[in-house]
A = this chain, B = another copy of it.
Amino acid sequence: MTASSTSCLPDSESIRKTWQKLTGIVKQTPVLTSETLNILTGSKLFFKCENFQKAGAFKFRGASSALLHISDDQAAKGVCTHSSGNHAQALALAAKIRGLKAFIVMPENAPEVKVNAVRDYGGQITFCMPTLEARESTLEEVRKATGALFIHPYNNYNIIRGQAGCFYEILQQMDEEPDYIIAPLGGGGLLAGTILSAKYFTKKTRVIGAEPLNANDAWKSFREKRFIPSESPLTIADGLKTSLGTKTYPIIMEHVEDIITATEQGIIDAMFLVWERMKLVIEPSAAVPLAALMENPERFQNKKTGIILSGGNTDLRRIPWLENRYHH
């Protein structure tokens, strides 16, 4: 992959129009602030609450965007994906709202809470062995049997166009451009979308990606200027384990200001802070930007810095700081 393969990039007009078309489908989530966290970090923070988004994460923006662009013929056959996480729920709900079928391939060890959520949203689940190979081959069988359109969780310009709406929306909600905006970084859909909106709609905002130190494939790629895949990383931030895709990699490599990382303990501590001080339930992946900022505070001193709280889907019966207490 090279940084020049960006010929079909979503343009500014299509990002704006997609956001407008999704009014009333996608929630306009609030932007909140915390004086306590400003004092703790030395930055002037604001938080975009995508944990309040439908299906509990920003992924619903991308999934809804993807469904705007499919033909009537395709719509009749439905859509499909493989995911054990937020994309599965988001696609199932977006499809339900559009009146389409959604076929979701999930690993047989997926958490019950996530399986139930997909089922509640009307998704038709096919279970498979918990390997990427099994997921892909099972998806291929489902796709052939149903004719459903595969909606990739991030390596898809219609998905990126939807995720771009998150930062576009922030700009509509604020009086002035922030100095920085930090997005969590897994497959890169949210970060790539944020980069495009910053490029098109701001004069000065710099975009930072935040990754778990234990899943720092993009951090390495950025430093070594070549694609380095993610290799079965162990991190509590389960939404950020994937590799970049052929469509997100070049956008990020060309335009991101920097990629910063957070330790596992830092992620848990930041998650605790947001729950305790902001009274917001966020999932571990959503705590990674704040954790990375707190481990790399210098450049953010007195700067207006946005943090995307990407989602709130976490098992409330397994609280990280209590699991530590009870299991270690």
Please tell me if the beta carbons of B317 and A325 are within 8 angstroms of each other in the complex.
Answer: yes
Within A271-328, the residues touching B (CB, 8 Å) are: 272, 275-276, 278-282, 312, 316-317, 319, 321-322, 325-326
In the bound complex, how far is the Cα of B282 from the Cα of A275, in angstroms?
Answer: 10
Interface of A is mostly: helix
Please tell me if the beta carbons of B321 and A316 are within 8 angstroms of each other in the complex.
Answer: yes
Q: Which residues of B contact A325 (CB under 8 A)?
A: 317
- Interface size in chain A (residues, C-beta < 8 A): 24
From known contacts A317-B325, A322-B322, infer whether A312 and B30 are also in contact, taking CB-CB under 8 Å.
Answer: no
In the bound complex, how far is the Cα of B322 from the Cα of A326, in angstroms?
Answer: 11
Tell me, rounded to whole Å, the shortest Cβ–Cβ distance linking A170 to chain B: 16
Q: Judge whether A70 is part of the interface by a CB distance below 8 angstroms.
A: no
In the bound complex, how far is the Cα of B27 from the Cα of A30, in angstroms?
Answer: 14
Q: Judge whether A51 is part of the interface by a CB distance below 8 angstroms.
A: yes
Q: Which residues of B contact A322 (CB under 8 A)?
A: 317, 319, 322
Q: Which residues of B contact A32 (CB under 8 A)?
A: 30, 52
Please tell me if the beta carbons of A272 and B51 are within 8 angstroms of each other in the complex.
Answer: no
Q: Which residues of B contact A56 (CB under 8 A)?
A: 279
In the bound complex, how far is the Cα of B276 from the Cα of A54, in angstroms?
Answer: 13
In the bound complex, how far is the Cα of B30 from the Cα of A279, in angstroms?
Answer: 13
Please tell me if the beta carbons of A279 and B276 are within 8 angstroms of each other in the complex.
Answer: no
From known contacts A30-B30, A326-B326, infer whether A279 and B319 are also in contact, taking CB-CB under 8 Å.
Answer: no
Q: Which residues of B contact A49 (CB under 8 A)?
A: 279
In the bound complex, how far is the Cα of B282 from the Cα of A319, in angstroms?
Answer: 16
**Which of A35, A52, A325 has the most chain B CB atoms inside 10 A of its CB?**
A52
Residue ID in chain B nearest A35 by CB atoms: B54
From known contacts A56-B279, A281-B280, infer whether A321 and B317 are also in contact, taking CB-CB under 8 Å.
Answer: yes
In the bound complex, how far is the Cα of B176 from the Cα of A238, in angstroms?
Answer: 42
Residue ID in chain B nearest A282 by CB atoms: B279
Tell me, rounded to whole Å, the shortest Cβ–Cβ distance linking A42 to chain B: 17
Within A22-76, the residues touching B (CB, 8 Å) are: 30, 32, 35, 49, 51-52, 54, 56
A-B residue pairs in contact (CB < 8 Å), sample of 10:
A35-B54, A272-B316, A275-B316, A276-B316, A279-B281, A280-B280, A281-B281, A316-B321, A317-B325, A319-B319
Q: Which residues of A contact B (CB under 8 A)?
A: 30, 32, 35, 49, 51-52, 54, 56, 272, 275-276, 278-282, 312, 316-317, 319, 321-322, 325-326
